[in-house]
Amino acid sequence: MYNLLKGKRGIIFGALDENSIAWKTAERVHEEGGVFVLTNAPVAMRMGTIDQLAEKTGSVVIPADATNVEDLEKLVLQAMDILGGKIDFVLHSIGMSVNVRKGNHYTDMNYDFTTKGWDVSALSFHKVLQVLYKKDAMNEWGSIVALTYMAAQRVFPNYNDMADNKAYLESIARSFGYFFGKEKKVRVNTISQSPTPTTAGQGVKGFDGFIAFSDKMSPLGNATALECADYTVAMFSDLTRKVTLQNLYNDGGFSNTGVSQEVVDAFEK
């Protein structure tokens, strides 16, 4: 390990169980010397095993609903109090579609479900950024990362309204990132990860087939949750101080591959 985050403090949203990217990121941040608080919605915490992660990393868990500004304000103030100062890094790893869970087709959505999923998956990121900004909670040259997926740019039919949510999430990162960078020297980026067998990812119809396809399409193969965690650590570190407003692909080259020989071979059989 390289002590890339020694002396740095942060907040990690969305760790649910050992399969989640936020969980792997927390482990890697801990290994690189960073300290942090963990947070998730109370309902999600009941589904997962976040307390085990907290014990392993010596962290405090603060329940918070990321769609509730009052909860976020309390979270940020408590985090600074517990960690002893302003924040250096934040990971937003939150996503949920009620329409996907209920099996509603994109052409026949329940709009109340759509609004809920949009609030949890995308607008929550604006709320997190706004609270951090108004509370002046971030140190200069701090780093904020949100996880996304390239369905924000391309059609993946079964990804449903989560594609819209991710497109909005990425726009928020650019728009709010401009002001955070200009006025507070804080960088804001999104990481577009390979399809990953997390709890949320496995809820997408046809996921197993698609993850296999993606692996065959990617020159380097799919990026794992741990490899995404490594990339996130690099983005939190001082080695990437001038990287901001970017959507960064961590997908083994999938995003720039038109077709691979493996896929051609499969169709020619």
Q: Which of 133, 159, 231, 249 is catalytic?
A: 159
20 annotated binding-site participant: yes
Instruction: Please name the amino acid found at residue 188.
Output: V
Q: Are strands 247-250 and 87-92 parallel, antiparallel or unpaired?
A: unpaired
Beta-bridge partners for 192:
148, 249
Q: Which of 149, 168, 178, 231 is catalytic?
A: 149
The yes-or-no answer on residue 168 being catalytic is no
Residue-by-residue DSSP string for 121-156: IIIHHHHHHHHHHHTT-EEEEEEEEEEE-GGGTS--
Beta-bridge partners for 148:
192
CA 122 to chain centre: 11
CB 85 within 8 A of CB 35: no
- How far apart (Å, rounded) are the C-alpha atoms in residues 249 and 154? 13
User: By CB neighbour count within 10 A (0-12 exposed, 13-18 middle, 19+ buried), where does 7 fall?
Assistant: exposed
94 annotated binding-site participant: yes
Q: Are strands 138-148 and 87-92 parallel, antiparallel or unpaired?
A: parallel
CB 224 within 8 A of CB 195: no
166 annotated binding-site participant: yes
Please give the backbone phi and psi of residue 91, each rounded to the nearest 5 degrees, phi first.
Answer: -115, 125
21 annotated binding-site participant: yes
Beta-bridge partners for 39:
13
97 annotated binding-site participant: no
- Of 233, 189, 242, the closest CA to residue 8 belongs to 233
The yes-or-no answer on residue 106 being catalytic is no
Rounded to whole angstroms, what are the CA distances from 11 to 45, 86, 173, 216? 16, 11, 17, 35
Binding-site residues for NAD(+) sit at 14, 20-21, 94, 166
Give the annotated binding-site residues.
14, 20-21, 94, 166
Q: What are the residue numbers of the active site? A: 149, 159
